A and B are shown apart, each in its own frame.
Chain A
């Protein structure tokens, strides 16, 4: 679907300098405390046109990265970990002992894909996404972003559209980059609520007498309102028998299931209400029934919440987050199947993000041809704001890169001062 010449444009528009600045985390060589080899120890991987996959690529500078991309013609670029030595030179180092080739830093990353929600969305399935189901991603961003900031205290978080049907999250604080696999796994498990597949009916099991504060906050601030409002409106999850049977199966008490099933079967044809209205009425009936019968079994205690969580709570891909060496697609790549650019998403305004309005490669080419913007993205271009991609680049720089680099440089300076301070002491007599 993608032609090499179109992708040449993609490679010209890719913001090499911005990506280089980001991944250098302040080690630009301008301060004595900088590690000038830091960027060169980062792994990149290229996927070439005939599905050839090249791992362990590394580059000393932004221009080296640019040159390699423009000569290899990858259509997908992934970012891996920062290793103990240049990935290029890893074979010179042994597997054991002190000089080992091993990852030393890597952003904490999350991958949320809407296909993992196929059992709870009725408008699309598989690779498709539309305005009715995309809000699932929006609410996922809100829940995870709030937790990363409030619970874990992270500050430098980048959310990126994956190009087709999901979002990626890059947590770039120094503390996050130095986390071990075990710690990453712990954070991923902290976020995990949905434990299911077609083999079990009750995929969200909220035990205990109350929700953990993180889940309670997510429920009250985001999930409940979304479920009873936008989700019901878009998906009408109680309107037909197939749909409501699925929900009734989550109630672990046969009597209640039958009671509601009977009631709804009777009212099926009589009602003149819209699908959405029927759905809402049935939801109220379900809630009332459960409220009055709660005491019958401990598994009913939080059944209402379980249903809301099943339909709305984020489903992250655990494997992506758990290992330092997991590769993840770079921001600003073009998705080969949709042609859309993987642009950043503003977590504070994610309601406004529309995946179907993201610039495509064809639109960008047309914009260039009609003289609307230049080829290539300049660093200090005042016009970037007006071009299709310009807004995204500007957002990337002002909301994410700027504050990140400021904090990185402070850290480099502080640790340098500490080091100098220590060695000064050793000279005192």
Chain B
């Protein structure tokens, strides 16, 4: 294999000290052995799957940095630094080929590669980060002089509103003894970039930047947002082009060599989406009340109870519960009967047929562009934004402590069990809280962790059916 002689190897093999993160702009002219083609890809998939798991468990950004660092060291390390870079690049392009072939695969690949890039970027020091920003060739300039002066006060307000001590303060202060926790100094950072607000949507959404006349003032420590947006946009476009190339030339040309490997690689790592009902998910209307008490996770139980109580749910609730019920095995006709029975009590069956039936049929892929929508996973539910009059979302995240305790009490949790759950909630580990609830309710351990409401339902049904095989549960 042709070895590419790159820059001088550094003594340490530590990935953090290797500044380069490739941007995967063009496929490099390397020769790859067929075995490496598959092996490199599998190693990278292990990293991407680990990222996916970490995100599903609701890990915060700092924890994700550590997760990515560990995963990279475990699976992508090579004794030769330039070999490591080659493996990085080759594995990315192989997986891109594998995952360009359907919308669902593309979406997963894009999310995971972007998250991977984000955390690898965060692990680099400021100089390395600036170098990477430079490689994108963005035209944004640092703010200086009079303009910076005029913004200083409000920039300071932004820093203080985020409630953390600016990291540059810690760097600037050479004398450690000054860093007493009682002395909170919210200094403005040294470098700010003036960027159109469209380039940093996540910073805008979180009110983490000052915005003026359409420009966002991005701190050096926030550069990651800027580059991640660019990176994602580029990979997204690249996926479309790769798909086209695959469909028109590569698949046929490689049908005896690469194509079988590519097709096998994709089925390994897509998690179940619960769009097809399994043997454990096949309920009928008459069982639904009982099953809601015995096997629904808290989020769905709450929605179900509110529906029975108010004879209505707003759109977010109808989507979250409706798709869950579909995943649980409720057929379209039964679903229509179920929702009509409830809604007619409030709005009348005529209005139900006019205004709500369409939506239910739409969820089952019988209207519009006929997409068969998949039930929401925990990640999506946790990140939703229930507003006035809504009951969807994740109770572990969206309920006040009192309401959550009351709800858990109704599920039968002991006070000891409740404390464990509330502890997880306080630390923002919502899915772990739900897992603990599961374990407490069914008296069993759930090693794999809950990351999908339908998973909770199926696991619950498995346990209940194994206890009383004949009776309906």
Contact = CB atoms under 8 A, between A and B. Distances in A.
A123 B315 CA distance: 27
Interface in A47-76: 51
Interface string A295-330: 000000000000000000001001100000000000
Given A189-B205, A197-B388, A315-B387, A216 B157 contact: yes
Interface string A164-184: 000000000001000110110
B387 A195 contact: yes
Interface stretch (B65-73, B170-178, B258-266, B394-402): B394-402
Interface string B185-212: 0100000000001100110111100111
Interface stretch (B15-23, B160-168, B276-284, B325-333): B160-168
A208 B198 contact: no
A10 to B, nearest CB: 22
A152 B389 contact: no
B386 interface: yes
B385 A208 contact: no
B214 A208 contact: no
A153 to B, nearest CB: 3
A21 to B, nearest CB: 26
A201 B400 contact: yes
Contacts of B161: 207-212, 215
Interface residues of A, number: 44
B354 A51 contact: yes
A202 B387 contact: no
B391 A199 contact: yes
B163 A209 contact: yes
Nearest to B403: A199
Interface residues of B, number: 39
Contacts of A274: none
Interface string B128-164: 0000000000000000000000000010011011110
B403 A186 contact: no
Given A150-B212, A319-B315, A208 B391 contact: no
Contacts of A212: 157-158, 161, 207
Nearest to B232: A182
Nearest to A186: B201
Contacts of B400: 199-202
B201 A116 contact: no
A117 B388 CA distance: 8
Contact of A211 (B157, B205, B212, B386): B157
Nearest to A206: B161
A30 to B, nearest CB: 30
Given A197-B390, A208-B162, A318-B387, A152 B201 contact: no
Contacts of A208: 160-163
B369 interface: yes
B373 to A, nearest CB: 15
B62 interface: no
B213 interface: yes
A200 B398 contact: yes
Given A95-B369, A153-B214, A315 B388 contact: yes
Contact of A197 (B197, B204, B389): B389
A118 B388 contact: yes
A421 interface: no
22 contacts: A116-B388, A116-B389, A119-B388, A150-B213, A151-B212, A152-B211, A153-B212, A153-B213, A153-B215, A175-B198, A183-B201, A186-B197, A189-B204, A190-B205, A195-B385, A197-B388, A200-B399, A201-B400, A207-B163, A211-B157, A315-B388, A318-B385
Report, nearest first, the 9 A-B pairs whose CB atoms are least far apart. A153-B214, A186-B201, A189-B205, A208-B163, A153-B213, A210-B160, A208-B161, A200-B400, A186-B205
